Structure 1
Amino acid sequence: MRIEFGGGELFDELRPLWEALFDHHVSVGAAGLATIPREQSWPLRAAHYERIFAGHPWAGVWLARGDDASGSGADRPIGYALAFETELDFRAATVLETLSLLPEARGTGAGSELMRLVFEEAAGRGAELGIIDVMGGNDRAKALYLRSGHLPYSETWMRSTPPAQEPGAGRVTFLDGSLVKLAARSGFDLEFLPGPDDTWVSPDRLALLTPVEAESAWTIRELELLFAALQSSGLWTILVEIPVPPRAAPLREALAAAGFRLALERLVRQLAG
């Protein structure tokens, strides 16, 4: 195996590797949420990568190449890592956005080597933290990250319920500013994310809610009033980011009762200085 480092010029080689990860996510249940057709996923993922490279001060791709199963010695892509620079809790951080391997390359140590290179390079640039988001239910990947020294940091719960009627038909639409104020009155910060998602069924924009005080007690009725306003405005995919247990227990229970699923778990590790 050899590993090549680069940027957007490597995107064209990533599609089969991303689709292998998409297939794996579907095989482990996709966190119990509806997924889009496989052929629609890569164009959305590629657009996501373009936004990452355009919107962050640094981003990079590590592409692993190795022999194919025929033993012909062909130097084909077998896996990749994509990472970018950001900030978390006012500290320099690097997010390992994607780590994907072809099925036959899993368990060979290639994933651990890609992860090592990403965070070794990050530490060399002065990053203090390494971040990985893992899909809920992807226990094998989570175990790998925990063994590498990552610790649970936060959870993102998600509900995606397409409207039963055409958008705007008999619905009250709220302006973005009004939704932000409504969310604030309910105890949340609201952020709008670009969509559709590259794995789950979702609209062109998503709503991300973060509680101002994670230990506050919300009733399902209070939450549903906010969720209904978002949904009526076309934001029918809602994500709520909360701290890991034991914190935010009342909100976690309310979200589960409202039909949300644990979509992503964020893991964080301290990088060597």
Structure 2
Amino acid sequence: MTTPFIEFQNVAFAYGDRPILHNVSFTIEQGRFTAIMGGSGSGKTTMMRLITGQLRPTSGTILVKGRDLATFSAQDWNEHRRAMGVLFQQGALFTDLNVYENIAFPMRELTQLPENVMRDLVLLKLNAVGLRGVEQLMPAELSGGMARRVALARTIALDPELMLFDEPFTGLDPISLGVIAHLIHRVTKALRSTSIMVTHDVGHSLQLVDQIIFLAHGEILFSGSPQEMENSDSEWIKQFVGGLPNGPVAFRYPALKSLQEDLLGAK
């Protein structure tokens, strides 16, 4: 038996008196690509922030390679984050830095590499995403798809063993989306990274990932393979995968009064 790379054990989290996650438990094995899916407000991004240490659980235990994050020292956190690459939603490039400096940024912050080695690494990462030659451009000079690819190059700058993708397909046209999906699949396989992706995109995600964790109301309704998800009898999952307007996620907000009562009351 190998130790899971990431393990949640009865994890709960709340913002004040507003609960977000309820006794969430799951494991992600080394080298697996996992998608976290669910409707808006279900707790997907909160789970990502718990893994990065931006948030601490209200209760429960989060283990990374068998170690409890609650016991980490400042040095442990630095090492954990040094081994992590994050592709933020919309890319989050530094607007005042050119492409070269954006990709070199984690190298400058977290290593003491000589400038010539750093330059070679930046060019290699840009070549990996098909953008060698744009290193002197500013983020404002890039298309949306190009900016996302530069952000991916920065994500893999230090060959992370853990990669986190937060809605990587948001706002992309179909061609750019297909390119990013292909690149994410290629780099995760090449680096043999353990990868987690928060996404609403069902079509591309089912082709990329090994495991899907489906959240609703802060609880796990499903954890399994894409094939098992497609065959699930859960009404929640059927509505999500099919994009259906009617189902467990109601179209109408549960107002306390009917429309007729509100209209009559206003007269």
| TM-score, normalised via structure 1 length | 0.27
Structure ranking higher on relative contact order (CA contacts 8 Å, 6+ apart): 2
TM-score relative to the length of structure 2: 0.28
